[in-house]
Amino acid sequence: MSSESGEVSTALKKAGFVFIGIACLSPFITTALALILGILFTIAFGNPFDKRLNKPSSLILKVAVVGLGFGIKMQEAWEVGKNGFVLTLLLVATVLLVGYMISRLLKLEVKLQYLISVGTAICGGSAIAAVAPTIKAHSTQISMAMASVFLFNAVALFVFPSIGHYFELSQNQFGVWSAMAIHDTSSVVGAAQAYGREALSVAVTSKLARTLWIIPIVFLSLFLFKGERSFKKFPWFILFFVAAVFIGQYLPGSFSSGISIIARRLMVLVLFLIGSSISIEGIKTIGFKAIAFTGLLWVATSVLSLIAVLAWLG
């Protein structure tokens, strides 16, 4: 009887897991919520599929990253990016350098700090997702990096408009600042929209230009971690991502937007699967340090980018 009860319990857990996974493909589940649901489900019930999801999760992640490339408009990004190229380059380089220095003080694991630094420097979860397979990051490292970055994205969404009004930033200044200092696109849009219509327009295009830095960062990651990968393990999906960016420029807008939307939903599913792979032991090991590191790096990024915007666009 107990054996049958155990089988029923396992079947129910699998059904619940699959149901949430399917729900992640709907527009009602956000990226942050998907990650949290994955973590909470595993803590409460365990992962009924255990390690069998590692390969499918990795494949879906790569497909999603390639799909996101179709949504990047090169012309718009270039028009905005050419004016702020130096500023963005300095920001990315500074965040990676400061991240390395802070991680040494906190003695944070190398790959975890690198994922968080890349996510903070460029575009949050998308950058982490693109770089993770390149450096062969563990699912726990990916999950903790994304969770930490999402946490401070949520904080920025609420506090940035107030800070902007305190410093009497113009619509243009706030748009550029939010695009530089907030990682995730949805949070950038939310904060800028609360500040004003012009700020929103500037923020979206500026964020788009910043997103393009995913491409050079991926190849930089290959160079930095070359000792751990062979040419046979080259992340070929990144070349497909680059191809998708260029092909997307010649496709009908509705078609490329449709692919991008599907890719974003797949990314939400991936975050649920990644969250479901983390253990309580993993959270205890790197949880506090990851959050402390992300917070310090985020504050440094926000302050430095605000100073730069006031100096450049004042």
CA-wise closest residue to 37 among 52, 53, 21: 21
Q: Does pTM top 0.85 for this prediction? A: no
Residue with tokens 């990051």: 137
Q: What is the pLDDT of residues 150-204, one digit of tens each?
A: 778 778 877 899 999 999 999 989 988 998 888 876 677 778 878 887 887 778 7
Burial of 101 (0-12, 13-18, 19+ CB in 10 A): exposed
Query: For residue 296, what pLDDT is reported?
Result: 92
Could you report the per-residue pLDDT of 116-152, keeping only the tens digit for each?
Answer: 999 888 877 778 888 888 888 887 788 788 878 877 8
| Digit-coded pLDDT (tens) for 44-59 | 888 888 767 767 877 8
The pLDDT assigned to 285 comes to 58
Return the pLDDT at 132: 85
Whether the pLDDT of residue 34 is over 60: the answer is yes
pLDDT score of 232 more than 50: no
Question: At residue 246, what is the residue type?
Answer: F
Q: What is the pLDDT of residues 242-280, one digit of tens each?
A: 788 788 888 887 888 888 889 888 878 887 887 787 666
Nearest to 222 by CA among 133, 94, 128, 118: 133
Q: Which two tokens stand for residue 86?
A: 């130096």
Higher pLDDT, residue 189 or 222: 222
